Amino acid sequence: TSSTTSSTTSSTTSSKSIGRFSIRLTFLFLLLAFVTSTLIAFFIGWIARLVLLSHLGLTPYDPTNANDIHIHVNNNNNNNSNNNAMVAISRGMSKKRWDDDNDNDYYNDDYYKSGKMKRSIQLPSPKVIEGKNVPFTTYASKTFQMAGVATSNTLHIDRTATVNANTMKSMTLLMEKSRKDFDGGPDIRDQGGEDDEDKEVNNEMGDGWVPVDQVDCNECSRGKGTTSSTTSSTTSTSSTSTKNHNSDEDGLHLPAGQHLLVDIKNVDPNFLNSEQRLASAMIELIDESKLTLLSYHCHSLVPVGVSCAGVLLESHVAFHTWPMEGVITMDLFTCGGGLLIPTLPSIERLFGIASVSGVDVMDDVNGVVDVGSEESDNLNDNDDNDNDHDDDSDVPRPTLLWSHKLRGFREGFSPNYVRSKNPLDGSLGRYVLGKLDFDLKRPLLSTATSIQSVNIYEVMEPKNRDYNSYLKSQDEESPSLSSYEASSYEASYPQSFGPDKMLFLDDIVQSTLYGDTSYHESIVHPAMLAHAHPKQVAIIGGGEGATLREVLKHKSVTEAVVLEIDRELAEICREYMPEWSDCTDLEGSTSAAVTTSGADDANDRDEGAHAKSCFDDERTRAVYEDAFRWFVDRFGDDEQNEDDGARKEDKFDVVIMDALDPNTSIEIAGGLYDDTTFVDSLFNGLSPDGVFVVQLGKSKMITDPPDEMGRFKDTALMIDALGKAGFVSIHTYDEGHSHFYMPWSYLVAFKDYKSRAAWFRTAPQIQIELRKRLVETRSGKPVLRYFDAATMIGYQLPSKAQETVHCRKEDVWEDEWNECNELIGHHGIHNLRASEYLKVGKSGLGDSAGRGLFATKDIPMDSAIAHEGSSLSFHFPPLTWSVIDKLREWARKDENYEKLIFVDDEISSVHTYAEGYGYGATFLGEPNMAVESGIMLFMNHGCNGTNNYGQETDLNEMSVDLKSITEVPEEFTFRGNAPYSPVFDRNWRHALNLGGYTLRDIKAGDELFTTYLSLAGNLENFKEEVMTLRRQCMGEDVGIITQYESESP
């Protein structure tokens, strides 16, 4: 006290007095005071909130209420009670508060007529499918009072008929527990104070809300599954993990689902404006789809329209309507395993209600809707016309557009999932199911054989076909009229306006109706024309029969063997796609006795009758076996085949492989070419001049990497295997009209090099061959709809993408002679113009040598000269040169010489000019001649290897041993003769006269020499050329040009 007093006293001496005592407030005291006051205020507010909510009747719904366990309206109760409860919930009020207000004017008709509120309607409740176990769920919602909403209704699943006493009791205990202490899913199995019966019931419950013994593995798993130490749970988990995830049958274990979008137009407006009818249709759809609707919520809108959303155990369903426009849009999403596409017929039947002419738009409460629009007025104007109600001929039919998409993620979440093996995750899903803008998309068949899945669809894409034109083409009166009398052009030619038909095998598009002819004609006829006289033809695959149809158009064919592993597919195609195997219009296609092997039974045929199906043709033999094994078993050992006389009869002139293309993701496709057993047997199974053709799938793009590194690696394996097997000439070509969404590629391989002559025929030759070989039609229509000579000329040139991708190969650049550099011009070597560096003069080789070519300026080594003239060469194709040669021989015979002496003179002039100034080649399969048209043709031969232009070689006319050689030395053959070279196939015309390069420095005034040995064609011509050059170099003979000029007058 004394210290305090003294301090106080002292302070008062220096400042104004503040009293006898002072108060000191610590920080801890202030913190405690703040926390205490906050807690007191919180508890007071919490108690006040509870009292207020209880007073207002806005307590959470009571799940133990027997009349409303799941907040659904029990339709067996009094209707007024149902309506009261339903509207009360929609307004966020409890049933208690609504009952308290029962005496107010809510039930007064004037209240509804005033527009304050629409009278609620009774909607059906969702039901539990009999035998289906539905897990317990919790529910939370909030409804907002918005302008433009006439009614708002929420209904929940009615499971009272399927809930037994024990389940109801355990559910009641669970809900009581959750109301006291909700933690998102309490474990009630170990609760104390329960009797033994309760414990037994609750022991049947799993952790959380889902009873373990009622888990339906066909439903969605919205999170981590429950864990259990019981044997049954372990077994179930183990079996689930080993399921095949290559389909959506086990979709509940993946973060993925299926989404079906449906748009329907030309629907009855009254149906679209009826909340009750729409809700009933939705519930019936869910029931037919074997799904579980937990609850749904609907709003009827002002002035018209309905929006509904339903919560499925599997996910959700929702739709919205535009009654005045007659349109409804719907989406259905599930993560279960059941397919959604089979629900489309139900959707079309339940929601595609046709309009009735002259009927007003009604709602479920007030009758006719007055929307104040011209459309409504137009509808109302028809009320007095009774005839309009009966005449619906002008009312359009409902049109359904739909799209099915796979959603979420599968790859990466399932170790066994392979995208290419999911029937919905490939080209079928991307190009057909996933498109919403198709005017028509109708599944004709969706099934699976013992080998593969089969899907057949009818589609109409707006960019290819017009739906209105299709409807006009269906005019029933027009078929009986001529094209001049028909009501419309479309009705006269319905085949041009109908929907397309598409076949998918294992989700890979195989054929289309509108691409059928272009695809099958392009795979069959080029190969058939490449053979001189095809009799025996084998078809690997082709169960739809279209490939067979094209083969049977050739008169020379005596037997066509179809090797199809899937007999069920062939039967399906005959039933659903008869157009593909239709031979009724082919002359000479007659049926015979059954010639089917590998089958237990067969259909009887009338021998000699006209074959309706190509499979019934007497030349057809269908073998339902594995074609690869079939070839290996019969032709795997070539030596054995040569010793077996019967096997020679089985060899084929043409083999067409219309089965697995190498670009598919199926393992067997690449395995066929890793192991060359099949390719070797294929080679052995062909006749000496046999031809093999195969479809390669999607065409290459110019941006693709080399085949060995990209998606075409199996194609590279196949080409390599074909070359090693012995095929001497391989070519690829593209066709862009097969309706495969991309151009399609094909490969043809020749066993005999002479087949190249047929492949590179001119357009007139091809057209003549087609007329000679193909049968006539009974109708008089052209037997081919797409393929002709001009099309074949296009196939002779590979695409630029084929060339570019081929030149990206590493081994191409490792070759001493690089075809990409030489023929495409990537080499970068400076080209010298002939007019600036060369001139023609008398050869320095002697008087008998004639003219020669001299340099006017110094020319450095490795210089290209006059490459610009390579495009101006004069070419004698094999057929032309053969005609000239034969005509010259004919004219020189004694009996013909005196009769037509001028023929010999003229033919000899042409023949001498070509041989003297040109050079022969066989790269087109048979001898052909090319003649320079520029100054380079005056270049002479350099004897004894003295040539300074052309190509470096160690051999010359003096050093070649003609007795020991069996073929033209490689250094003197045309360097584009590799089995497969798209570069050469595209550039051979200017490659004929591309010339060479200077082998050393050439001074001004020096004469240029080349080697004529590289100008010979086949071995016979090469030997003759060697002997001629030896005599000329020794001065014993002169060149044919000098000889011809000396003999001419």
Active site residues: 658
* Cα–Cα dist 204/193, whole Å: 18
Strand duo 327-334 + 256-265: pairing: antiparallel
Residue 480 buriedness (CB in 10 A; 0-12 / 13-18 / 19+): exposed
- Rg of the Cα trace of the chain? 44
Residue 185's CB: how many other CB atoms inside 10 A? 16
Q: Classify 918 as helix, strand or coil.
A: strand
Write out the two tokens for 798: 């590979």
Q: Distance between CA 949 and CA 687 in Å, rounded? A: 43
Spatial distance between the Cα atoms of 562 and 539, rounded to a whole number of angstroms: 5
The one-letter code for the residue type at 782 is P
Length of the chain (residues): 1049
At residue 621, the 3 state secondary structure works out as strand
3-state per-residue secondary structure call for 551-570: HCCECCCCEEEEECCCHHHH
In 386-468, DSSP assigns E strands to: 399-408, 440-448, 453-460
- CB–CB of 740/509 below 8 Å? yes
Task: Determine contact, residues 926/757, Cβ cutoff 8 Å.
Answer: yes
Which own/partner pairs from 96-102 qualify as long-range (CB within 8 Å, at least 24 positions apart)?
A: 96/57, 97/56, 97/57, 97/58, 100/57
Cβ–Cβ under 8 Å, residues 205 and 190: no
Q: How far apart are alpha carbons 791 and 794 in whole angstroms?
A: 5
Q: Which helix H or strand E contains 997, and what residues bound it?
A: strand 997-998
The Cα 819–Cα 812 span in angstroms is 8
The H-or-E segment that residue 541 falls in is strand 536-541
**Residues paired with residue 152 on neighbouring β-strands, in sequence order:** 299
Of 502, 527, 532, 530, which is closest to residue 514 (Cα–Cα)?
Answer: 502
d(CA 587, CA 570): 24
Q: Say whether the peptide bond before residue 303 is cis (omega within 30 degrees of 0).
A: yes
How far lies 51's CA from each of 46, 362, 538, in Å? Answer: 9, 45, 90
Give whole-number Cα distances, 363 to 90, 146, 304, 692, in Å. 19, 19, 8, 69
First to last CA, the chain: 159
How many angstroms separate the Cα of 1027 from the Cα of each of 848, 959, 1023, 1033?
Answer: 17, 12, 6, 10
Q: Which residue has the tokens 């087109």?
A: 924
Which SS3 state, helix, strand or coil, does residue 635 take?
helix
Integer Cα distance of 747 and 655 in angstroms:
12
Q: Which of 565, 527, 524 is nearest to 547 (CA)?
A: 524
Structure tokens at 722: 């074909």
Which stretch of DSSP H or E encloses residue 912? helix 901-917
